[in-house]
Structure 1
């Protein structure tokens, strides 16, 4: 983060594609170009470059009060997420559902790390889904639920940023999808700037939280 001016929002793009240079990477790179053109900072995490363990059969996720102990690269990714003003999840549709890299990631990130303090709360969230033809809306809905679970602020774009490509060659051929991606990206930056301005004026969080872990609240209520 060294060298970044305080007024520069940082947007983190997280790619859940196994294919380097595929449709998802191209779409995320395009979003990065739009972010940088606005004078903001764009960073990318390709999940395929990290070691992320699937959830283990330990079965204590509902009871533990500390982060997951599985040894992998998840803590480093979570730290990058905490530093960002906004996060874009970019993922392809595989087998009519969420590509497995992103599925494993959101499971491990949420249950293993994020649910304790909800560090993504009030960060701006965006979603890019790439596909050949089918199930893009279902995958988009799943990621919307994940962003809302983490108390993030979802940047609407009119139509969701879902890009289709029926060609064998990777490419950004969906003009309507690209328009939606651009609107989403610009709205994310606008919201990040607004939140920074408000926090600078008040000296505190714009949307303070009264609870950080709904599971612990339920445990306290039950006791």
Structure 2
């Protein structure tokens, strides 16, 4: 069994790397082989929007390191992501890899794997969107997140001084291995609102009656019980979450791939009409 640690921080031996390595030590204790990649050591270009991966059902055509990263993830049994929170969100490398994820999403090369997330952060109250990004990335790839930790670490590389942070991270590594060994990928962390990603963010829809998880698109309703807000999700709504196999297949097969015929049919027309915008404000 192999567990891969992915560090989304540019800082070498910073808190994200320290806590990810602590989790990998826990995984080793449970008998796993471990490896680590510092994502910012690799060149990951922005998605070109060319749709080659979608329409030709192939790996991304961009010649950088994204395909290598996804291949390393695919050959592993479990994934542990350590990434700092900067101004409410995860670092930019995570968004880059989300955008480059169409090919591995279609290929289903990671579905059924188990993962965990560790987020060190400095300022309380500035972490609201960080798990939206990590959950979007991992759940879109079919990786079941079994725990996600927010670790308050104010100073640079000070994680070794915080015993509770080390213990929680090491335990996360153990949990990932045990989930693979037992086949039980149920969520082990602090329960949130969404029954899929366990984040606590919700959107209020335009009908002013329905709420949904912005990541998983599970829809529910609000209730007030004993002065406290409760979100109620039906089993049917939970089963229709965005990341289910059926919904992802529908997304690609019925929403995206049919555009291929239209794309081919209108190629000449689009090229002629687009010339106006290529010439407009063109630099001399």
Q: TM-score category by the smaller chain? A: 0.7 to 0.9
Unaligned stretches of 5+ residues in structure 1? 1-8, 197-208
Distance 2:17 2:117 in 1: 13
TM-score normalized by the length of structure 1: 0.76
Alignment pair present for 1:192 and 2:180: yes
Q: Describe the shift of the 1:174–1:142 C-alpha distance in structure 2 as closer, same or farther (beyond 3 A).
A: farther
Contact 2:4 2:34 in 1 (8 A): yes
Return the offset for 1:21. 1.0
Secondary structure of the corresponding residue to residue 106 of structure 2 = coil
Contact 2:27 2:170 in 1 (8 A): no
Q: Describe the shift of the 1:161–1:217 C-alpha distance in structure 2 as closer, same or farther (beyond 3 A).
A: same
Q: Deviations along 1:95-145, whole A, 9 cap, x unmatched?
A: 32111122212221x12x212222111000111111102433521233123
Q: Any residues of structure 2 matched to 1:24-173 within 5 Å, and which?
A: 24-58=16-50, 63-108=55-100, 110-111=101-102, 113-134=103-124, 135-156=126-147, 160-173=148-161
TM-score normalized by the length of structure 2: 0.61
Unaligned stretches of 5+ residues in structure 2? 185-244, 260-284
Return the offset for 1:147. 2.2
Contact 2:25 2:173 in 1 (8 A): no
Distance 2:181 2:130 in 1: 28
Secondary structure of the corresponding residue to residue 168 of structure 2 = helix
Q: Any residues of structure 2 matched to 1:9-20 within 5 Å, and which?
A: 9-20=1-12
Decide which moves more: 63-72 or 39-48.
63-72
Q: Deviations along 1:158-206, whole A, 9 cap, x unmatched?
A: xx3111111245324444444432332222111111249xxxxxxxxxx
Q: What is the aligned length?
A: 198
Higher relative contact order (CA 8 A, sep 6+): 1
CA radius of gyration, larger in:
2
What is the RMSD computed on CA atoms of the aligned residues?
2.8
Return the offset for 1:78. 1.3
